[in-house]
Structure 1
């Protein structure tokens, strides 16, 4: 046993060209059986008969040790295998029903497959019409790429009215040109689109470009969309130098029209302010217009928009984010002649910073948390400030599922928006925009056309239509969709919404008198509301949360708990356009009545209670699987029971979409469009070897939590 206790089993497996007995200090090791003299003496000497006895003992030791190590090794391998198997089983999940539908791949047909829109066949229609056979044949472009160069050239994309025509100038004031720089020498950049669509590009499942009045005949690649904002030229030239590793055949053609802008010293806030000052006569909230209108016949005045980017201290602005921000400012504010102002509404997360007490602290906080080019566009706020502006109490909460204080940004993001509208009453509309939104098209076209579409909508059936997803391939025209909703409403047990609803309460502000219906529901022929600006425009349906198991449906405060909960409406994702009228009522309901609801529920509910005009805009939403039309309509529009609602426990149905709070497909597709490799697919090598970089139609992406391109 003494020999076994001194054994080092690791040395039995050491292979070396050296002899242990020749190592320094070998004499001191003579007590070890491995280095005892009998092992190194010749068998020819008088001790030769001791060698077999010691070799046998050594063999026994070696065998025991080997068995011990093998047992330990085998046991470890088995335990590791068992652990891996358990982890694998834990990682496995039952596939959602929609994951069994065929994957759609037309998004990834590159720029070399461009065809005129008149020749375009959507992937869904191509799959439906393809002959049975090899599935790979079904996703091949109808016109395969024959050249590295795109078959069409990019052209400037201009969605603005022709401000120089007689017709425009006869109706509106002249638009004074705006510039990037203070000296007015740097013209505003254009962006570029391709006048076509990749063949078999996937069609949107929800929404319609045509219905919103957008140009459906173009697509945008990353060079035409972001090149003029610095994407595709070096930092030494004032760009961001992000395109070096990108597939870029034909991308340089935009520089035959466009000039590269040095963005290193651009002050967007100053450019935006100067643009408005030059054009303020165009807007009806400008007080100086009243005197001028007395001296000459009045021309039509335009509303103004505040485009509010909700951000926070510590937010990291990537180069990709900066490209999108430059696009917003140029396309919405400057090229429109001041119709929009872009604002950064910055949440100061550290409540101890006295932003309301020191101008120096205020400015330093901005400089520490925004890129320099945006310093002149920021407004700071904090939760501590909101506690003073909307002080407690907010009694009678039904259920605070978030377990967070009422003034926390998670439960009351709308407080800052309401406060901003009171501090900046010069705007007619306020766009509540999130930092993880991205848009592949032109901002002015998208935002303006959505507003114009909403203005045309009648109030009859408004709430009922807004609670449904519009599926053009199934529902047909918008007129047909409208008639279908009216028939569904007529055949249901519920009365249609017509004016402010009546419900038991212990104190409500009086709705505006103009929201009372001018006639009965049946006698209205879709006339009331047409031409009226919408008070609320959302980008997801406006649903009744009481009919779902949406987790925050009962975060309601300030109402009598002895009475039934007030009727409510909700739109997931707080992204929206709100009128000054709506925000004023929200503000008064908050500080006068102490009424409060979760942020995604509060604006739609206030609009609902006060009879305001609220609509869901049917923008294009894409899916990564080919849902049967009846299945997606049944799932999203007619769930059989509340627990199946896609606003609640059924939200997994939204994972494969391009727009929802938990959509996974949105960010992956956005990064593929930027040139990134995602899930072992895409990237520069694949684009070069295949059909080129992506060219996609105008699409609103949410959420995009990080960005990566051809890097």
Structure 2
């Protein structure tokens, strides 16, 4: 389906028109006029269970992976893989979803010929229990069996699932901690030995590996084990756990964890702002605070921390302002989590004000696979730019365009700076000109973002560009940043490098700079996934491409903040003001908050941010 005509109009059309163009595709004619209401849109489309998982235990699967995939029990007391009530449904579109303004489905492997309405997406997680609709009851709509959600213990289900699938994952020794009940359940205050041992956390590969063997060789020989991942949800003790939020968290656990044999484990990190509560000295205080901070069903997948813990682990950083805790230490709990859970290779971090209308497993697996295929040549330069398919054409063309606008110049290996010894690999050739886009292909990314990562050092209007505390090169330290981080993925190796820098040198940058810059300094692979993003605004794709990729192809983000009216009308971004955003409006309409009781709006997989008040 081509770009909608209303993108060329001089004034922004209503959200209804844009929603119609993005989501429904129920007309065979792509130029059919949009209508203000989409009543029955999902009901007119054929539906079936949506199964994005590999063919577990097949001959092909067994040739690649160790162990056997075993089904896992779900909240209804039966194996989730065979229970229709635990499965998400999707509707098949008559034509593929319309092309997004930024990013792509077809060039990344994301499916765009399915869509999800609120019931197909959330009924397995209690949506129909909370919001039964007389209109839906009269339609072709089967209610799943009810669950007493407050009695579900997701931690027990995840642990049981892991036990059933343990032979699929590499055995890992956990820290020998005697001062905590379980090394898997909570953080601990550091000892002198913890600080003395910080260098050993950076040994990749292990010391016992034969001399001369490379990290890549070591990883290749671990390949038959499935690498465990975590999806980490960030909250604080004042988080409002709405019904929608709880359903969203359940969807992560079911789709990423229980259906996959715990390839992904869901962990909730909660900051306790009141540091007078002795959560690290008194087990009773910890338990009482935990039960006050999260719903009962999530208590055994939650880990608490506070500012005192971070000050104790990272005294040299000196940035622990209680009024600006996120700015001070956003990534420190993730760094500690990599120590607490050495069995986890990759850590996804997401915020509770983001929503994905598609299936989580399909999204994260597609993002990971795409990032692994990306070559390192001019990767930092592609990362800094917006891919607008209507202007740039294919991703191959976009890669060539980036090479042209950068005149072949690019980051090649670690970007050296004083005081930091890179842990990443050295380039296989002296310069990128000697490489035919081969280095890095098949290498898992150490950091993945879904919005551009840009250079802050030259001519940048980024307001936090001078946030480079205790770096020996000071303001001359090379740095990269991003403007929004609702969904990112860290490797264990990157988190250990970040931890090492903050413990040893007290390094500190703004949260949207520190992981990116650490990857830059250590020569680690960072990839930006071209996430499909729609814009509810009357600007042509050419305008977006020309203005968001300004000054020899550099992203607009390098320059003073501009076009706030466009940013807040994108499906994935953030808002600098309190004005309503397109993402928020679209999600609430998808939930049925507007549009009438009969409307069953059907959306393809779209990552939405920010979402407020649901």
Distance across 2 between alignment mates of 1:329 and 1:250: 31
**In the alignment, is the contact (CA less than 8 A) between 1:159 and 1:445 conserved in 2?**
yes
In structure 2, what is the Cα distance between the partners aligned to 1:641 and 1:471?
Answer: 12
- State the Cα distance separating 1:174 from its structure 2 match: 1.4
The 5 Å alignment of 1:61-460 reads 100-102=11-13, 105-109=16-20, 115=26, 119=28, 121=30, 126=31, 138-140=33-35, 150-172=43-65, 173-181=67-75, 184=78, 187=83, 189-196=86-93, 202-233=98-129, 241-244=130-133, 248=136, 252-255=140-143, 259-286=145-172, 300-392=224-316, 394=318, 404=321, 408-460=325-377
Tell me by how many angstroms 1:644 deviates. Answer: 6.1
SS in 2 for 1:668: helix
> Quick one: structure 1 residues 647 and 304, their matched pair in 2 at CA, closer, same or farther if it must change by over 3 Å?
farther
Provide closer, same or farther for how the CA distance between residues 405 and 549 of structure 1 changes in structure 2, counting only shifts above 3 A.
farther
Q: Compare relative contact order (CA 8 Å, sep 6+) and give the higher one, 1 or 2.
A: 2
State the 1:637 CA deviation.
Answer: 1.1
Check 1:511–1:683 CA distance in 2 against 1; reply closer, same or farther (3 A cut).
same
Shift of 1:421: 1.3
Q: Summarize the Cα distance change of 1:446–1:641 in structure 2 as closer, same or farther, 3 Å threshold.
A: closer
- Measured on the aligned residues, the alpha-carbon RMSD in Å equals 3.2
Match of 1:573 among 471, 480, 484: 484
Higher alpha-carbon deviation: 408-417 or 214-223:
408-417
Could you say which residue in structure 2 is the equivalent of 1:26?
none
The reply on whether 1:655 has 2:572 as its aligned counterpart is: no
- The alpha carbon displacement at 1:435 in A equals 1.1
Change (3 A) 1:673 1:554: same
Q: Equivalents in 2 of 1:464, 1:404: separation in Å?
A: 34
Deviations 1:341-398 (A, max 9, x none): 1001010010111111111111111101111111100111111110011003559xxx
1:496 paired residue number:
410
Q: Which of 480, 484, 487 is 2:404 aligned to?
A: 487
1:533-556 deviation per Cα after TM superposition (whole angstroms, max 9, x unaligned): 000000110011233212212122
> For each residue in 1:270-323, what CA deviation from the matched residue of structure 2 results, as whole angstroms up to 9, or x when unmatched?
0011101111111125469xxxxxxxx998211111111110002110001111
Structure 1 Cα separation of the partners of residues 10 and 563 of structure 2: 14
**Structure 2 Cα separation of the partners of residues 573 and 596 of structure 1:** 18
**SS across alignment from 2:466:** coil
Q: Contact between 1:110 and 1:695, CA under 8 Å: does it hold in 2?
A: no
Contact 2:97 2:604 in 1 (8 A): no
Give, in whole Å, the separation in 2 of the partners of 1:645 and 1:178: 45
CA contact (8 A) 1:559 1:565 kept: no
Query: Counterparts of 1:557 and 1:106 in 2: how far apart (Å)?
Result: 48
Structure 1 residues 642 and 218: alpha-carbon distance in aligned structure 2, compared to 1, 3 A threshold: closer
* SS of equivalent residue, structure 2 residue 348: strand
Deviation at 1:259, TM superposition (A): 4.4
Q: How far apart in 1 are the matches of 2:283 and 2:377?
A: 50
2:422 aligns with 511
The answer to whether the 8 Å contact 2:454/2:555 transfers is no
Q: Which protein has the larger Cα radius of gyration, Structure 1 or Structure 2?
A: 1
Taking the aligned partners of 2:498 and 2:331, their CA distance within structure 1 comes to 9
1:533 aligns with 2:433: no
DSSP-derived class of the 2:163 partner? helix
SS in 2 for 1:548: coil
Q: How many angstroms does 1:596 deviate by? A: 0.9
Cα deviation for residue 428 of structure 1 reads 0.3
Distance 1:621 1:149 in 2: 22
Distance (Å, rounded) in 2 between the aligned partners of 1:405 and 1:565: 29
Contact 1:549 1:648 in 2 (8 A): yes
Q: TM-score, normalised by structure 2?
A: 0.83
Distance 2:475 2:516 in 1: 19
CA displacement, residues 505-526 of structure 1 (integer Å, 9 cap, x when unaligned): 3x22x11252444442111001
Structure 2 residue runs without a partner (length 5+)? 1-7, 175-220
| Displacement of 1:101 | 4.8
Q: CA deviation at 1:627?
A: 1.8
Which deviates more from structure 2 when the two are superposed, residues 313-322 or residues 527-536? 313-322
Structure 1 residues 564 and 215 mapped into 2: Cα distance closer, same or farther (>3 Å)? closer
Q: Are 1:114 and 1:152, in contact at CA under 8 Å, matched by a contact in 2?
A: no
Answering whether residue 599 of structure 2 is matched by residue 599 of structure 1, we say: no
Residues 250 and 572 of structure 1: CA distance in aligned 2, closer, same or farther (over 3 Å)? farther
Q: How far has the Cα of 1:209 moved from its partner?
A: 1.5
**Structure 1 residues 483 and 254, CA, compared in 2 at 3 Å: closer, same or farther?**
farther
C-alpha separation between the residues in 1 aligned to 2:476 and 2:530? 30
- Does the C-alpha gap of structure 1 residues 242 and 576 become closer, same or farther in structure 2, counting only changes over 3 Å? same
How does 1:666-677 map onto structure 2 within 5 Å? 666-677=583-594
| Contact kept? 1:534, 1:613, Cα under 8 Å | yes
Q: Distance in 1 between matches of 2:40 and 2:601?
A: 16
Q: Secondary structure at the match of 2:111?
A: coil
Q: Which sits farther off after the overlay, 622-631 or 635-644?
A: 635-644
1:579 and 1:373 map into 2 onto residues whose CA distance is 28
Query: 1:192·1:254 contact (CA, 8 Å) conserved in 2?
Result: no
Q: Which runs of 5+ in 1 are unaligned?
A: 1-96, 127-136, 234-240, 289-296, 396-402
